[in-house]
Each structure stands twice: as C-alpha cells, then as structure tokens.
Structure 1
C-alpha cells in the first residue's frame, strides 16, 4: 500500500488526484458530446461535406475525438495501475502517435485554404475542390504516419520477442528504448512544426497585405479570415508545446514526484485538452453558416432562421 501511495506522490494526495481524474472525465465527456453534435451537423447538409474547409474541420473533429478517447483510456489505466499486454499497448501507441500530428497538419491545411480564398479568390474553386480536399486528407494522414513509422521501426529492431507478451501499465514512454530514440522523435516533431509555423506566418503576412488593401465588405471578410489564421496559429502553438511536455516532465520527475504529478496534470489539461477544444470554438461557433445549422439541429428544428441560410 505504501508503495502504491508513493507512486502518486503520497497518501495525502490520493483524494486530490481522484478529483482531478473525475474532472478530466467530465471535460472529455462534454467535449465528445459537443463534437458528436458538430459531426452530426456536418453530415446533415451536403454543402458542408462538399466544401474543403468544412471537410478539414470534420477531419480535425474526428481525429481529436479519437485522440482524447485514447489518452483518457491511458489516464484511467495508469491511475488504477491496470496492466495490459504490450501488443495491445502497441496498438494504442500507434493510434496516438498518428493522431498527434493530424490536428496540427489539418490546421495548417485550413490556414492555406484561407490564404487561397483571400489572396487567390479566382483559383479557389479549382485548388480547393472536393477532390483536392480528399487528396489533402490522405497527404495529412500520410505525413502524420512518418514519425510513427520511424519510431516503430527502431522499436521493432530493438525489442525482444518476449516483450509483446508482457503485462505492464501502458505508457508511451515504454516504446522509447534508447535516449537517442527520444531525441530523434523530438527532432522530427520540431522539424514538422517548424515547417507548419513557417506556412502559417507566410499566410498571415500575405492575408495582412490583402486586408490593408481591401475595402468595404471585402475588407470585413478579409479581417475575419485574418483572425481565423491567428487563432490557428495560437492553437498550433499549444500543440507545439505539447511535444515539449515529456522533456519537462522527465526533468521534474528527477526533482519531486508530487510536483511531477501536478505538472503532468496541468500539461494534459492545457496542452492536450485545450487545443482540441478550440476547433469547435473557431469553426463551430465563429462560422455563421455552420453556427445557424448547428443551432437548428441542436434545438431540434425550433430555430427556423437557419433554414434561410441554405
């Protein structure tokens, strides 16, 4: 019993951590319910699933739902010290590794779509067609799988065959067998986010130029697009910080175990939950057309004004 208490920072912190786990369950449940309503709204109108920005938005929602569901399962397994076979843990790790990058890459693609819509309006229809969007989604998932393939290739070459039959508390750190493997994963992640940051900064500068030159309704629409780019940049920043969290937590773990638990909880709420709650805010509420449709279906058809939008 004393050993278990020491794992979570002492017996006095058990109640606090239990409260935190319950809070996370509430937040995840609320998030999944909101996303379910948003995804349902997306599929109710053919305009949404034939328009690039809404398809990318739905891709983000689906990816975030799966990512949060898997991280929540890991949280529960870790808290109650449940052990599972490493083969099953491996599947969980692959899913998490893939979907860690899907959201930021999709945000980058959505930023580029806004850039094309504002800076190249005459080519927007051709460049952002449904066919192009589906190709873009495939590219996003292909690029997202590269870091996972690299790490898994090293793991499969290094791990003993008996490892897969072992029962342990599942954690993503289990599959990092060498310190240089962790550094390689970090380097790949930082490279990805450097490229994405460059794309977002470029799009921001170009949209800013158009916003200053625009007038009337065009100016209002352009500034709205500029605010969307800024929100995407902020959301991407939170996703970037998420990649630094394991290194911060590893350093804190060497100092104090209870502090490590507190830091890890803060990181999960701030850099995993928060960025994935911003997507519904950015497109589910700020987009006028989607908001009217969402309100109509959420109120079971009682909100008649949304019918006039379509």
Structure 2
C-alpha cells in the first residue's frame, strides 16, 4: 500500500505542475481571461488543483490514522464537497457555451460576455454549495458542544447524525446528475443537427465542437460518479475498515485523478490558440515563438 500512496503523490505532483503551467498561460494573454470558454477552463483548473490538494491531505490522514481537530475537519470537508461539484457544473456550462457558439452564433457575444461569465460562476458556486450547507446546518443543529472539542480522523462519516441526511444528499446529487446529463445531451444533439447542414470550414468547426462536448460528457460522467463515492465508502466503512481504505483509494485514483487529467487534454492541447500560447510560454518563447506569432 505504501507504493500505491507514493504513486498517488507522484501523479498529483504531475497534475498540479501541468495545471499551474496552464493557469500561467491563461493569465498571460488578455484574450483568454476575457473569453467565456477559457475562463471556465481556468475555473476547472483551479477547482481541480484545490480538490486534489484537499482530498490528498484527507486521504493521507486516513491512511496514516492521523487525527485533526473537528473544526479543521469541518472546514476541509465543506471545501471538498463544494469543489467536487464545481467542476461538473462548470463542464456543463462549457457545453452550453459550445451550444451557443455553434447553434446561436449571432447571440454568442451577447450571451457569453465577461459579465455573463461572472454571473455563471457565481451561480455554479451557489448550486455547488447547497449540499455542504445542508450537511453542516444539520451537524450544527445536532452535534453537542463536546463534538467540536475532540480530534478525529477526518471522513464524511463522522458528520452523519441522521440517516435521512444521506438520503437527502443522495436525492440532491441525483437531481444534479439528471439535470447535467440532460443539459449535455441536449447540447450534443443540437450541435449534431447543425453539423448535418454545415459545410466547408463551418462543418470542420462544428465537428470539433461535437468532439469537445463528447469529451466534456465523458469527463462529466467520471465527475458525477464521485457524487456517489462517499455513500459507497460509508456503507463499506460499517462493514470492514480495511476494505474501506482500499475502496477509498480506488475511487480516488479512478474518479478524482482520472477525471481531472482530462481538462488539460480538452482545452490545453486540443484548442489551437491555447496550445500555441502554451507552447510559446512553456518553451520560454524560443522554439515556439514563430508559430505563436
């Protein structure tokens, strides 16, 4: 198991390094931080960086059985629940942006302005915060004062005082899951309709948009499976602590790390403008200078 933990640390270090390079590139050109799809891309990168650091810290303290104050655990868990949802919501918004760009090109500038982007990000964070707010309203109403004065291994299970809370959160997550899936499928179908009537360069651009939405859909599926991981882990925790550690590790690698390594692929490498800028800055402006300009 020590080798597996070390492997996770290496993967996280690699993903964080790549994301930092991508974020640096994002802030180097005005066109990126004034365009909706690139702002959403940067939002997913920052969300992914934060969730990787948070969940890795929680994974390590569970593995080594390290106890931390309940107050700190509350804070880490709130952030973890929040940013687990920010990425899938942002991916859904990115699919909608591609739908507007391809199916409603004349209104794209109006609907996808920087102001609209900021409003979307606020809405995304508002929706993402709902499960964490519900969780800790219930905790604060149910937990005795002595609960906050102890040290504990930080897992979501310690905040379960009522079984119906898990059922309520499961219902919310299921609603989110269905809503996101319907939105992405709708965008894909509408873009496909445009692809059938497009021609020349337009057709090439539309098919690229279709591939982008398809990648978003796959990444979204992996992210949404994360919503069910805590409930599976809690059920296993009641049966076997060793099995819980193994399943938690598996879920973390497959549904946290794997899903978040796709963001650099979708926009960091597939988007020509961003790729040229990335190549330019990654090579310090030497070898990539000609193609960047």
Say yes or no: TM over 0.5.
yes
Q: Shift of residue 151 of structure 1?
A: 1.3
Q: Superposed, which structure 2 residues align to 1:129-144 within 5 Å?
A: 129-144=113-128
Structure 2 match to 1:105 = 89
Using the TM superposition, give the Cα deviation of residue 244 of structure 1 relative to its aligned residue in structure 2, in angstroms. 1.9
Pairing 1:152-191 to 2, within 5 Å after superposition:
152-191=136-175
Q: 1:254 to 1:92 in 2, by over 3 A?
A: closer
Other-structure match for 2:4: 20
TM-score, with structure 1 as normaliser: 0.91
Q: CA RMSD in A?
A: 1.3
Secondary structure of 2:228 counterpart: helix
Match of 1:268 among 249, 252, 258: 252
Q: 1:248 offset after TM fit, Å?
A: 3.0
Counterpart pick for 1:61 among 23, 33, 45? 45
CA contact (8 A) 2:188 2:214 kept: yes
TM-score normalised per structure 2: 0.96
Assess if the C-alpha contact under 8 Å between 1:293 and 1:306 holds in 2.
no
Equivalents in 1 of 2:236, 2:169: separation in Å? 20
Aligned equivalents of 1:79, 1:246: Cα separation in 2: 16
Aligned pair partner of 2:129 in 137, 141, 145: 145
Paired residue secondary structure (1:49): coil
Residue pairs, 1:219-238, within 5 angstroms: 219-238=203-222
2:67–2:152 Cα contact (<8 Å) kept = yes
**Residue 79 (structure 1) aligned with residue 75 (structure 2):** no
Give the conservation status (yes or no) of the 8 Å contact 1:111–1:232: yes
Deviation at residue 257 of structure 1 after TM alignment = 4.7
- Among 13, 28, 51, the alignment partner of 1:29 is 13
Is there any run of 5+ residues in structure 2 with no aligned partner, and where? Answer: none
- How far 1:252 moved relative to its partner? 4.3
Q: Cα–Cα, structure 1 residues 306 and 141, in superposed 2: closer, same or farther, change >3 Å?
A: farther
2:74 to 90, 93, 115: 90
Q: Distance in 2 between matches of 1:127 and 1:213?
A: 24
- Which of residues 150, 157, 179 in structure 2 aligns to 1:195? 179
Q: Is the 8 A contact 2:61 2:153 kept in 1?
A: yes
Report if the CA contact (8 A) 1:292-1:305 is conserved. Answer: no
Separation (CA, whole Å) in 1 of partners of 2:244 and 2:202: 50
Aligned equivalent of 1:305: 290
